[in-house]
Structure formats: structure tokens, C-alpha cells
Amino acid sequence: MKTPVSVLRLPSGPEPNSRGFDPSSPRFTALCSSSSSDDDDDDEEQQRLRSELRQRFLWTLSLMKHKLVQFDMHERVRMRARFGASDLDVLRLQVSELETPLGVQREALVRSQDVLACSFEL
């Protein structure tokens, strides 16, 4: 009976809310030129714009609740449904009375990555 090789720990996985590339890592600090104050201003402006866009997106999601929404999917498929909610990572959208080419689905989860566009009347 062979003994399994011991490991110190498992490889670390991705952080849930970050894309990584830690700026404090030795490689990053050595290879990336330090940013000037101009760059810092640009970064701040970018961050401000990003926050604004994100807020608008989240407001849109909350406004969509209970509304009739049209989803544009691949292959020119269009589906209407009553929007319920989105999950935390906006990976899945909970809808009711989803009108699909195969019939009406009373309750459904739509994979957001498959949606090209969605529209609704305010």
C-alpha cells in the first residue's frame, strides 16, 4: 500500500472580488514603473466613472423588477418575460412567464452571459 505524497497546503484560488495581480507583489513592484501623480489623477477619475456606471447599472436592475422585459439572444432569438431579480454576481436572472420559441416557461433562470441585450419600458 503506497503512501500518498504529503502536501504543505492546496494551491490558493482566485479571490472572489478581485482580478488579482497584486500591486504589492515583488514582481509587480520591480517590473512596473512607479506611477506619477498625473497617473494617480487619471486612476481616480477612471474609478469615479466606473463607480458611476456601476451605480447606474444596479439602479437599472432594481427598476426592472416586475416589468416586462425583452431579452435579445443569439441567433436572433427574442424572448419576453417578467423580470424578478438578479443574483449577486449577475450571472443568472430570475424571470417569470418566459416566452421561449418552445413555449412559455412559468418560472425560469436566464444565464446573463447568453443575453446580448435586454430592454424594457420605464
Partner 1 sequence: MILKMSSLVSMAMRQTPLTCSGHTRPVVDLAFSGITPYGYFLISACKDGKPMLRQGDTGDWIGTFLGHKGAVWGATLNKEATKAATAAADFTAKVWDAVTGDEVLTLAHKHIVKSVNFTEDSNCLLTGGNDKVLRIYDLGKPEAEPQEIAGHTSAIKKALWCNNDQQILSAAEDKTIRLWDKNTKEAVKTLSFDASVSSMEYIPDGEILVITYGRTIAFYSAHSLDLIKAVDAPASIHSASLHPEKDFFVAGGDDFKLYKYDYTTKEEMESYKGHFGPIHCVRFSPDGELYASGSEDGTLRLWQTAVGKTYGLWKCVLPEELSSENSEALYCPPAEIKA
For partner 1, the binding residues (CB under 8 A) are 2-15, 19-23, 25-28, 30-32, 113
Q: Which is nearer to partner 1, 28 or 59 (CB)?
A: 28
Q: State the minimum distance, in angstroms, from the CB of residue 1 to partner 1.
A: 9
Q: Which is nearer to partner 1, 22 or 87 (CB)?
A: 22
Q: State the minimum distance, in angstroms, from the CB of residue 112 to partner 1.
A: 12
Residue 103 class from Cβ within 10 Å (0-12 exposed, 13-18 middle, 19+ buried)?
A: exposed
Q: Which is nearer to partner 1, 36 or 62 (CB)?
A: 36
11-42 as b/e: b if 16+ CB within 10 A: eeeeeeeeeeeeeeeeeeeeeeeeeeeeeeee
